[in-house]
Every structure is written in structure tokens, then in C-alpha cells.
Chain A
Amino acid sequence: MADDLKELKIELSKNGIFTTTLEELYNWGRKNSVWPLTFGLACCAIEMIATTMARYDLARFGAEVFRPSPRQADLIIVSGTVTKKMAPQVVRLYNQMPEPKYVIAMGACAISGGPFRDGYNVLKGIDRYIPVDVHIPGCPPRPEALIHAFMTLQKKIEEQALAGDARPRHLHAELPSEFPVPAFGEHDLEPPMNRDVFTAEPGNPLKVIQ
């Protein structure tokens, strides 16, 4: 929205007139009805389960409906260590989700491999294969951290444009919704990372390869 329109909206709201746009209304509905996939990998999943229960109550954010099928889910919370044996399955589940779909990488393992980073069988972060929207550090992150990640995701959804070049991937018909599933190679997964998704330089995550 242009700045003068935003000002007009604020001016109107000061006088008791609420205005909105189709885009805002649509995103407001989307951000409050994100359905996560029933999917847990390791100890972080226990914290994820705790988040959904009465004490932390993720239902307050419209996300209590954990779906047992990827066909009905919008969000995959990668909660725990992704082993190389498991990585193809995670990518395949992500591929089977309908668009728009989001990923929260929960915990040190899901974002980088965590304490098992040097293990021969551990993937050094799921962002090597699928685009991650929110990373949460922690080992494991507390339910508050997951709720914060969820609110961050909600903010992200809220700001997504419905039209124009800045619109998100799922609204670009030519961009794929599936990502290549890695295969079990002789020593490692083949390919070890998807360069279209993972733009950081290996061993130096702050340096981004263009």
C-alpha cells in the first residue's frame, strides 16, 4: 500500500472509520488459520506437543488443528534432528503439502545439525533442501520460543503481497512447489544441498553465494 493511503487509513481510524483492503483481509484470514502437520523428529517434538497443550495453548493463534496428512497442512515444523536417512522423507512430505506452505525449523539440530553437527549421519540443517521461513535456536527451544516463531510467521504471512512482482513463491505460477528429493549416495545424500534453496556458503553461513 502506498504511504499516502496508509496515512489516510490511520486518519480514518482516528475518526472511528475502519478501512481495509482485500489483501489485508485475505492475509488476516490466512495467518489465523495455519494448520501444522503432525510431524515430529526428536526431543523438540515434545516441546512442540507441549506448545499445543492447555498450558501454552497454540490454539490461541488458530493453529491447534494438527493435520495427520500433508495434503491438509500449511505448515511443517521440523522439530528435531534431521538424519540423512530421514531427510528425503521430510522433503517428500513438504512436496506433498499444498501451497501456500511454510516451514519452521525448530531447534539447533533442524537449523544447523546442532550438537550432532559433526555426526556422519546428521543433516546440517533442513534449509539445505527446503526453504525455511522461521529458524528457532535452542536445544530444545521452549514452547514460548515456538510461539514466538509462530507469531513471526504470522507477521510474515500478513505482509505477503497478493499481486505484483513482490508476491510470494506460491503465487508465481512458473515457480515450482516441489523441491528435488535427495537420494542416498555412497557417502552422503545426493546432492548434498539444493543450491536453489541453500544460498549460504558451507562452513560459513554468513557468506551468501549469489
Chain B
Amino acid sequence: MMGNAEHPWLTVVGLLVGAVAFGFTPLAMAWLWARIYSPQKQGAEKNATYECGLESKGDSWTGFGASYYIYAIVFLVFDVEVVFLLPFAVAFTGLSAGACLAMLVFLLLLVEGLVWAYQKDVLTWA
């Protein structure tokens, strides 16, 4: 039995120290090796943020065009609506008046978006 009667946790402490040393010894050796055999050579290019070979131009704090929201709205109108329309059509005969009204309000909101998009000439192809 390895344990000490006065200090029953001594084995665990020993194991803990061993476990930490097992993790840190390779790290310490790598650090020591790098100190001796890997001279640091810093440079403007080496420390540059961009790593595609090109020089970065301008400031990263620029404005982004928000016009993509139009596609998001049209996507909602044509795509997400269908997802809800299909179960609505299947369960139509068994629906209560309240459920039907809620669904029509939902449709109205989306049709509103369609009218708005139509007025903005978003629906033209060319």
C-alpha cells in the first residue's frame, strides 16, 4: 500500500504533480529548444495580417451595401410562404375560423411585401 496513514491523499497529490509534469515538460522542452535553436526573425511582411500574398488595401472599417435585404424579403414571400401554404391548404377544411383568420393575416403581411417589392421594380429581370 502506497498511501500514508496520516496523509491519505498523498498518492493523489503525487499523481497530480506527475500529470502536470507530463503535460508541461514537453512544452518547456519545446520552449527551451526554440530559445536556443530557433532565432526569432520578425518582419513587417511576416507579421502582416493578410496572408494571401497580396497587400491589404484601405481600412477594414468600411460600409457594406445593405441592398441584399430586398432578396431576403422576396425570398420570404415566395419561398417561406409556400412552406406554410401547403399545410394550410391540406388542413383547410378542418380549420376553425380563428385559425383561418390568423393564416390570412400572415398571407396579407407577405402579400404586402410582394406589393412593396413590385412598386420598387424589384421583380423585373433585366
Chain A residues with CB under 8 Å of chain B are: 26, 69-71, 88-90, 92-93, 95-96, 98-99, 162, 170-173, 176-178, 181
Contacts and interface: CB of A to CB of B under 8 A. Distances in A.
Find the residue from A95, A96, A99, A176 having the highest chain B CB count within 10 A. A96
B45 A70 contact: no
27 contacts: A69-B51, A70-B53, A71-B51, A88-B53, A92-B53, A92-B55, A93-B51, A95-B43, A96-B45, A96-B46, A96-B48, A96-B51, A96-B53, A99-B38, A99-B41, A162-B37, A170-B41, A171-B37, A171-B38, A173-B39, A176-B41, A176-B43, A177-B41, A177-B43, A178-B41, A178-B44, A181-B45
Nearest to A92: B53
Interface of B: 37-41, 43-46, 48, 51-55
Given A171-B37, A173-B39, A177-B46, A89 B51 contact: no
Contacts of B37: 26, 162, 171
B43 A89 contact: no
A178 B39 contact: no
B41 A89 contact: no
Contacts, number: 49
A98 B34 CA distance: 13
A90 B44 CA distance: 16
Contacts of A170: 38-39, 41
A178 B45 contact: yes
Contacts of B46: 95-96, 98, 177-178
Contacts of A98: 46
Find the residue from B37, B41, B48, B55 having the highest chain A CB count within 10 A. B41
B41 A173 contact: yes
B43 A93 contact: no
A70 B51 contact: yes
Contacts of A88: 53
Contacts of B41: 99, 170, 173, 176-178
B53 A89 contact: yes
Contact of A171 (B39, B43, B48): B39
A196 to B, nearest CB: 15
A162 B46 CA distance: 24
Given A92-B45, A92-B55, A173-B40, 8 more contacts: A70-B51, A96-B48, A99-B38, A99-B41, A172-B39, A173-B41, A176-B41, A178-B41
